[in-house]
């Protein structure tokens, strides 16, 4: 595999930003022009490098003919922020356009995948459920599956359990920055609502460790998802907390499910 860092100017964000990409060795694939793509979304407090620095994803993808991309989204929860940048437009419009120009990516939705951890798990399901015809498979690892329940209470103990550093108002400030005074219920940020509105969905994989502080939120979403008939959905649990050793296992398992 080849690891590439790209620095570029985003017209949507009105600033310079970066992405990392793993691509198959060019010399080994001279006759292949269109590769499947996996977008990997990072968590709150992380950046575009974390997936490549904290997991063995290069090793896991070594025998996969797939392009893997991770970009930077700050603490936006993959939204057009009330007081910040339009990261939803960046994710769903500009980033794919840029990557399609940079890399030989297949145009077929059957070759498109998205996954993420924590905030990125929410982002992956948000993208997959808002644009269900865009992806073949979507995965959340320890995702924030219900924003209202996650932000309610502003518990500093939760921050520590999630390995985040912040003051007593940290979660409140993130919510205000991203969503202002909006009520997220029945909105494009309400995963249960989105799930109930779609009749055709990609394959959905939800992972969560049984010791994760977000396990209850994940279990409640799983109960709702399994109540909807016809949903191609799996909830995968195992011992683990909100940390990279667990997510390393998750991404290995998800990559093995991708048929390339």
- Positive or negative, the CA dihedral 76, 82, 84, 86 is positive
- Work out the angle at residue 145's Cα, subtended by the Cα atoms of residues 141 and 146, and round it to the nearest 5 degrees: 160
Predicted TM-score (pTM) of this structure: 0.95
228 secondary structure, DSSP code: S
Residues near 99 by beta carbon (within 8 Å), at least 6 away in sequence: 19, 21, 37, 67, 69, 105
Give dist(CA 242, CA 253) in Å, integer: 17
State residue 27's pLDDT score. 46
How many helices (H) and strands (E) are present in the chain, helices listed first?
11, 8
State residue 25's pLDDT score. 77
For the chain, the farthest-separated pair of C-alpha atoms sits apart, in whole angstroms, at: 55
- Positive or negative, the CA dihedral 213, 214, 217, 222 is negative
Q: Indicate the pairing of strand 37-41 with strand 2-10.
A: unpaired
State residue 161's pLDDT score. 83
Radius of gyration of the chain (CA): 17
Give dist(CA 79, CA 112) in Å, integer: 21
Give dist(CA 229, CA 116) in Å, integer: 25
State residue 164's pLDDT score. 79
State residue 29's pLDDT score. 56
Specify the DSSP element, H or E, that contains 4: strand 2-10
Q: Is 233 helix (H, G, I), strand (E, B) or coil?
A: strand
DSSP notation for 30-55: TT---B-EEEEE--TT--TTHHHHHS
Q: What is the mean pLDDT of each run of 10 residues along the chain (260 residues)?
A: 94 97 72 88 95 96 93 97 97 98 95 98 98 97 95 75 78 93 93 91 97 96 91 95 97 95
Instruction: Give all domains of the chain, ordered by start, each with its CATH number.
Output: 2-257 (3.40.50.1820)
Side-chain-side CA neighbours of residue 19 (13 Å): 23
State residue 30's pLDDT score. 56
């Amino acid at each position: 595999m080849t690891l590439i860092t790209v620095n570029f100017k985003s017209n949507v964000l009105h600033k310079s930003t970066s992405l990392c990409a793993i691509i198959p060795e060019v010399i080994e694939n001279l006759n292949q022009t269109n590769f499947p793509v996996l977008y990997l979304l990072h968590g709150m407090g992380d950046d575009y490098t974390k997936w490549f620095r904290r997991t063995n994803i290069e090793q896991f993808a070594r025998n996969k003919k797939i392009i893997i991309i991770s970009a930077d989204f700050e603490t936006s929860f993959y939204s057009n922020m009330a007081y910040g940048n339009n990261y939803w437009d960046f994710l769903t419009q500009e980033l794919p356009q840029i990557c399609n120009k940079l890399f030989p990516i297949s145009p077929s939705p059957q070759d498109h995948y998205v996954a993420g951890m924590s905030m990125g798990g929410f982002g992956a399901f948000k993208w997959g459920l808002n644009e269900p015809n865009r992806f073949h498979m979507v995965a959340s690892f320890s995702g924030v599956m219900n924003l209202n329940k996650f932000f309610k209470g502003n518990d500093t103990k939760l921050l520590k359990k999630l390995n985040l550093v912040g003051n007593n108002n940290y979660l409140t400030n993130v919510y205000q920055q991203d969503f202002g005074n909006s009520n997220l219920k029945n909105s494009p940020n309400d995963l249960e609502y989105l799930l109930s509105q779609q009749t055709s969905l990609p394959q959905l994989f939800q992972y969560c460790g049984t010791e994760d502080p977000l396990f209850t939120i994940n279990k409640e979403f799983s109960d709702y998802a399994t109540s909807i008939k016809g949903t191609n959905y799996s909830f995968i649990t195992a011992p683990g907390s909100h940390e990279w050793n667990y997510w390393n296992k998750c991404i290995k398992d998800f990559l093995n499910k991708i048929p390339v």
